[in-house]
Amino acid sequence: MQADLSHLPASAQKLIALIGLPATLRLVDVHGGCTVNLYNSESSVERMSEIVGRTGAEALLKFYGNVPFTVPLCHVALKVVRNAEVLSEFDRLTMKEGLSARRAVTQITRRFTPHIHERTIWRILKTTGEVQPVDPRQMSLI
């Protein structure tokens, strides 16, 4: 299941399509809210590779070339998307591939490393992913 990206800015959606969600999260952490100049030089590509990986840096260079681009500052929205992807990936690993919950969490942790901790994944898994509306017929406890 693909996460719903409709609430993200177009620039964030474009980055996710180019380099994937984990690399986009790292790029937003490092350069969020800034304009990035990615020149067609080995040193420029190498610096970007440290953040998004070699494949991601090459994809950005191929798409943007020497044109500067702004990295969106949308931490909250990207975390919502990340959490939905964690829930989806956990379901896939445990239900379709038959992995144990611990093994699935370990694999998910490696995917988002170094920006997501195992405890964070367990906290995400304790949520349902959707907020259920309160039944208006239910009495308040307070």
User: Which run of H or E residues covers position 69?
Assistant: strand 69-70
Q: Which helix (H) or strand (E) holds 21?
A: helix 21-31
> Does a cis peptide bond (omega within 30 degrees of 0) precede residue 114?
yes
How do residues 60-113 score in pLDDT, each as one tens digit? 999 999 899 999 988 778 788 888 889 999 999 999 999 999 999 999 998 875
Reported pTM: 0.61
pLDDT of residue 1: 47
C-alpha dihedral sign at 33, 8, 65, 42: positive
Q: Put residue 20 in one of left, alpha, beta given phi > 0 → left and psi -120 to 50 → alpha.
A: left
What per-residue confidence (pLDDT) applies to 4? 72
- Between residues 133 and 92, which one has the greater pLDDT? 92
